[in-house]
Structure 1
Amino acid sequence: MCAALAGVGWYYAGEILNVEVPSEPEYDTRVVAVGDGRVTLQDTADTRSPGTVGLDAPDAYAQAGKILAADDDGVTRRLNVLDGELKQGDLVDVDGYAFPQDPDAAFEFPVTEVRVPAPLGEQPAWLADAPGRRWAVLVHGRAARRNECFRMVPILHQLDVTSLCISYRNDRGGPVDPDRIYRQGATEWEDVEAGVRYALDHGANDVVLVGYSMGGQITANFLRRSDLAAEVSGVIWDGPALDWGPAIAAGADDRGVPGWLVPIGMQGSEWRAGIDYDDLNQVTHADAFKHPILLFHGDADASVPVSVADRFAAARPDLVTYVRVRGAGHVRAWNANPSRYRRAVRRFIAGLD
């Protein structure tokens, strides 16, 4: 019996640590009608998502904004086409990225791909130059594409902040961990350090860190461990996985994994990856942080429970500006209310001067 439990725990530990690739678009939602700055979509839970969502078609990309009507004919929303032409009858993938993967299609300002020297090899990154000497290093979440950061880039560009959207070990197109597993931020922070060093070497006076989901955990470890943390002026986190226990438990519940297996799998993943979840619990280490933090978290987040952000914000009210977003899912704070999100970022960045 003990051997069987150990085997199951070891297998589940692998599920916790195994590298996940970003999901491919699922073109499963029909465009019912298009015209006059509006789009009517097949009625689904995704097309009724509040705020702004992306519509990814094979030959087009658009943003669907405010819901104007919803009835038996479908869900009608405001439409902003970013690339190509969206047509009646098209099948689209409704996503939270809200911007296409190609930065030339996403933005009216130039974005180039650069290579960032890092401990395991060169890593690809998107660079959006701006006139100011402040840079932002943006870090996407687990199993997310680099363009997860694109919702933030136009806000920063308007503030004359240069954006560097980095990748990290195990990302597509870059170096991999020697064991081809995640180490839950315990080593990935070194790749953020490489991004910060690149910014400083290319003219940055100071750096703002932006982390989504696991990117929040990774940047938190950078702040606690790197000598270059002294070059950071502020931090923005969106749905950050600051405590792995609740996040892993939420993922287990979503997949039907019994709750009793979670601590066994976590212990097994500690052994396999050489990590310590107590050390990676940023809430219990909240007193180690020194930088101003703008923290976004949706109260409908099913991946990283909002209670994690609640606890961190309560632990450091002197540092944290907390924006708790009603009805927003995982890293969907921008989507729920883009205008409110932009205002919060602008105020925060202005306060760093």
Structure 2
Amino acid sequence: MADFDFSQALGEARTKYESIAKALNVERLKAEIADLERQAAAPGLWDDQENAQKVTSQLSASQAQVKKLESLEGRLDDAETLFELGQEETDADSLDEARSEVGAIQKDLDEMEIQTLLDGEYDARSAVVTIRSGAGGVDAADFAQMLLRMYLRWAERDGYKAKVMDTSYAEEAGIKSATFQVNAPYAYGRLSVEGGTHRLVRISPFDNQGRRQTSFAAVEVVPLVEETDHIDIPDSDIRVDTYCSSGPGGQGVNTTYSAVRITHLPTNTVVTMQDERSQIQNRAAAMAVLQSRLLVMRHEAEARKKKELAGDIKASWGDQMRSYVLHPYQMVKDLRTGYETSQTQAVFDGDIDGFIDAGIRWRHEQRREAAEEASEE
């Protein structure tokens, strides 16, 4: 029975490995690595730092994928050999070690499988994330800052480069809004499932009567625009305002009018930027974020048109997608996927890969079901 169980687990792991290797197209990955290595070795690569970082980041990610696949294949062979030797020598320790290793491999394969589900049009791109406080007053502003810290810690844990581009501080505590960029391959594909309304329930630290407070914050995720994107923004469609940058509590940190606010008049989309030192740099950064948002709006408009033609095939994502409950019990739960954990502090410290992976699987299943229903009509 033990041999049958191991053989079944090993067979399932090998099948999943082959499926992942086929989906990722190892030969294509190796060709991509060779091309990126040529680009990385080119003289003057770092004359364009933005492109250099993109090339080296993509190279590192592709090399890591191939290395992990090759490692998993070797581990599968080693686990099988170890189990066979354990049977021949009736070595219980070797048998247990082989079973444990197959379980560990299965977990690694599950994590790698997520990569194959990131097949959306913009999934491979870097991400621009904006967090805004919602209903709940000072608690909501504090919650927005907690979410900002959570995502920055997540990026740090996963080795992603993150940069805060703009922060608007609330008067008493927390933030009104913040925008940050995560530069890493598939950052948008992973973080896009975090978009929506987040809810916090806790005893308010700002209420002198110690009452329970519910507050909300909105998370918006857009892909970073690239040179190949064509978003034409006439000067007549935007209004540009400049002002002095400010820090927490309104304390002046810049005496020049370097901060920039761009308003896209046709859509009333507003982008502010104050992280860079010069007005020119802030304007360029703000225009990039504006283009990213308009790109998503265009994509959503196209999706709505397709949905109208196909009919209401699936409910869209709800406004409230996750609850963080700190009182009367400890629980963070995603309301779409059902994924939950009682380790609330770990979540706020950036341990959210479980939520992200569950969201990606949920989204993939939604798309699959929608495509099947559309094909039947």
- For the aligned pair, the TM-score class normalised by the smaller chain equals under 0.3
- Give the alignment's TM-score, normalised by structure 1: 0.24
More helix by share: 2
- Give the alignment's TM-score, normalised by structure 2: 0.23
Instruction: Please tell me whether Structure 1 or Structure 2 has the larger radius of gyration of its CA atoms.
Output: 2
More strand by share: 1
